[in-house]
Amino acid sequence: MSDLTHIDSNGNAIMVDVSEKDRTERTASAMGSVYMLPKTLALINSKDIKKGDVLSIAQLAGIMAAKQTPDLIPLCHPLNLTSVKLELATDMQRNAIDIISTCKLTGQTGVEMEALTAVSIAALTVYDMCKAVDRGMRIGDIRLTHKTGGKSGEFKSV
């Protein structure tokens, strides 16, 4: 038998049945970075990218993406998120934009995928808005950093 929760005993993909799980407050945070040329970061900071305010638009894209996660990832449950926060910060020393998302709800399943989706789409939005000046940007280090709630309790990355 597989330890994978989205595969049944016959090897078929399934959406996990959460109907018997307790409703608890659940949060998840994720982070990632977009690495770029120094001149690209300077253009973002001075708001001189022709497509607009990169950080604000990427923030909105990430929030919208968190709410659309079950439409993007086939076996995710549709959730009633109560909060989605997304922070984008420039790091001039690393030539990077760091993205942190935190999603929250009270429900029967966690919000890890929503937090990871928010970071991923925000990063892709940064790339899309800046690709005309820097096609060599790299998106990386996307990971779950913290999660609370549910039977498995708290997780903190090191």
What is the helix, strand, coil percentage profile of the chain, to 5? 30, 30, 40
CA neighbor of 62 nearest in space, from 126, 107, 122, 140: 122
What's the rounded Cα separation, in Å, for the pair 38 and 19? 50
Structure tokens given for 155:
């997780």
Residue with tokens 């760091």: 98
Residue with tokens 């001039």: 92
Q: Is 91 a catalytic residue?
A: no
Catalytic residue among 53, 71, 128, 141: 128
Sign of the C-alpha dihedral computed for residues 70, 76, 81 and 84 taken in this order: negative
Catalytic residue IDs: 128
